[in-house]
């Protein structure tokens, strides 16, 4: 199983949107059983007495606008609560993806470095630099959606075209993305998300 953790400051907007975008991508590719996807926070701002806040309503609305968190594609949106990233997460996940430079600094400090090269910045997978737009400050959930969507699609493409996952992802229930390296998207089910 390929394990992915998306991380932002409070775990109610950006990392949560990325978590459910990625869950939707793998569901559409009939690969849900091959992935474990979560999100978490670097700070406790949205965690009170051990109880995390739910997905921020405008973020939830943006997900629903794209068919995620709806009755026929709920994916756990209604049950999601913010949680704090722990040191043990480093051993549990294959990819730990921060939304911005501050998240990367916090993660590197928490994990005492990144000895296994698991920590990435989200927009690396969209082949561009910079931080995922933070709608907490901008109020612009469209930009955040686009950043997260491009990053998730880039991450998914990287995983399915990585030879180290060939045995894990190639079976009767999953697509075989390794037959034609010149066209790594061959066989993927395309959707309406923007791609990087």
Q: Is 134 a catalytic site residue?
A: yes
Q: Is 14 a catalytic site residue?
A: yes
pLDDT of residue 50: 87
DSSP-H helix ranges across the chain: 14-28, 57-65, 89-92, 101-110, 135-138, 141-160, 166-169
Token duo for residue 174? 């999953």
pLDDT of residue 188: 52
Q: Which of 100, 106, 131, 134 is catalytic?
A: 134
Which mean pLDDT values do the consecutive 10-residue runs of the chain (196 residues) have?
Answer: 97 98 95 96 94 97 96 96 98 98 98 97 95 92 96 95 86 47 45 40
pLDDT of residue 167: 84
Torsion sign, CA atoms 24, 28, 31, 32: positive
DSSP-H helix ranges across 82-172: 89-92, 101-110, 135-138, 141-160, 166-169
pLDDT of residue 127: 93
pTM of this structure = 0.88
Q: Which of 8, 13, 148, 152 is catalytic?
A: 8
Q: Is 8 a catalytic site residue?
A: yes
14 contacts 134 by C-beta, under 8 angstroms: yes
Q: Which of 13, 14, 106, 131 is catalytic?
A: 14
As a whole number of angstroms, the distance between CA 71 and CA 51 comes to: 25
CATH of domain 2-169: 3.40.50.2300
């Amino acid at each position: 199983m390929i394990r992915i953790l998306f991380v932002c400051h409070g775990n109610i907007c950006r990392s949560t949107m990325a978590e459910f975008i990625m869950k939707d991508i793998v569901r559409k590719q009939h690969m849900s059983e091959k992935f474990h996807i979560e999100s978490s926070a670097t700070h406790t701002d949205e965690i009170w007495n051990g109880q995390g806040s739910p997905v921020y309503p405008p973020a939830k609305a943006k997900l629903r606008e794209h068919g995620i968190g709806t009755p026929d594609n709920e994916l756990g949106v209604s049950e999601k609560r913010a949680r704090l990233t722990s040191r043990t997460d480093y051993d549990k996940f294959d990819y730990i993806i921060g939304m911005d430079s501050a998240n990367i600094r916090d993660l590197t400090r928490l994990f005492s470095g990144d000895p296994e090269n698991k920590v990435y910045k989200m927009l690396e997978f969209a082949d561009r630099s910079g931080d995922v737009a933070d709608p907490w400050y901008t109020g612009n959930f469209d930009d955040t959606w686009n950043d997260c969507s491009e990053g998730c699609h880039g991450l998914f493409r990287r995983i399915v075209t990585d030879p180290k996952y060939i045995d894990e992802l190639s079976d009767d229930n999953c697509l075989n993305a390794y037959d034609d390296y010149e066209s790594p998207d061959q066989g993927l089910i395309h959707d309406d998300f923007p791609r990087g």
